Amino acid sequence: MSYETLIVEARGAVGLITLNRPQALNALNSTVLKELLQAHAAFEDDDAIGAIVLTGSERAFAAGADIKEMQPLDFADVYSRDFLGGWDDVAKIRKPVIAAVSGFALGGGCELAMMCDFIIASETAKFGQPEITLGVIPGMGGSQRLTRAVGKAKAMDMVLTGRMMDAAEAERAGLVSRVVAPDRLLDEALEAAARIASLSRPSVLMAKEAVNRALETTLEEGLRFERRLFQSLFATQDQKEGMTAFIEKRKPAFKNR
């Protein structure tokens, strides 16, 4: 399939999606959304792919929703078609997605990075929710996912002032999992994704589901959910293989079964 706003390729068992609207700093318009959902669906269906990396350019991961597309819309337009509602589907993919962020991740760009399972940032990364400076507020999850990621104090600061956070502050705040030199960014993300893809698929999918449940439910229900998933993995061949390989001091050969 060919894409207008993305470059989509397989790197071994890793699906690599590169946002590609350089003239607009990868601003997210309706074509990007449509194509991102297509690319996700293709990788989700492809048994050879075990994890995905989503990245942008050196200058910008994405500088937000496309302001030129939004500027003429009125309330009836955006409400009637639940404008930006489709982005929720991007976060529904079951395979792990790592965001590799260099440069600007602003507004919808920051929100898209936060829809991924974790963020690896270049030292040049800048995160922000500047919607307030445009007379609106975050509309793709910024007020919710940022608050869960960094807590109320920093989320309020970012959402109310629109200021940017650099990579070091984002790492201190818990928004990103690792910060690396700019020339290491893509390799670091691809290596992490390749490692995930080499592990037993059912356990990887359940691990993602279990961590995400922590944000949705009580501790008691979350612990029960985790335990049931953990127990269910004893029905897989890969549990026997993983534990037998450890005892036999060899690498496991997982079959994703």
Q: What positions carry a catalytic annotation?
A: 65, 108, 111, 131
CA distance 220 to 232: 18
Dihedral sign from CA coordinates of 206, 207, 208, 210: positive
Instruction: Name which of 78 and 194 has its Cβ closer to ligand HXC.
Output: 78
Determine which residue in the list 43, 61, 104, 254 makes contact with ligand HXC, applying CB under 6 A. Answer: 104
Per DSSP, 243 falls in state: H
Secondary structure (3-state) at 195 = helix
**β partners of residue 176:** none
By CB under 6 A, what part of segment 15-34 binds ligand HXC? Answer: 24-25, 27
Site string for ligand HXC, 127-146 (x = CB under 6 A): ---xx--x-x-xxx------
- Percent helix, percent strand, percent coil in the chain, to nearest 5: 50, 15, 30
By CB under 6 A, what part of segment 60-79 binds ligand HXC? Answer: 63-68
Both structure tokens of 183? 């020339």
Taking CB under 6 A as the binding criterion, the range among 37-45, 58-66, 192-200, 203-211 that sits at the site for ligand HXC is 58-66
Instruction: Name which of 104 and 254 has its Cβ closer to ligand HXC.
Output: 104
Under rule CB under 6 A, residue 202 binds ligand HXC? no
Interface positions with ligand HXC (CB under 6 A): 24-25, 27, 63-68, 84, 104, 106-108, 130-131, 134, 136, 138-140
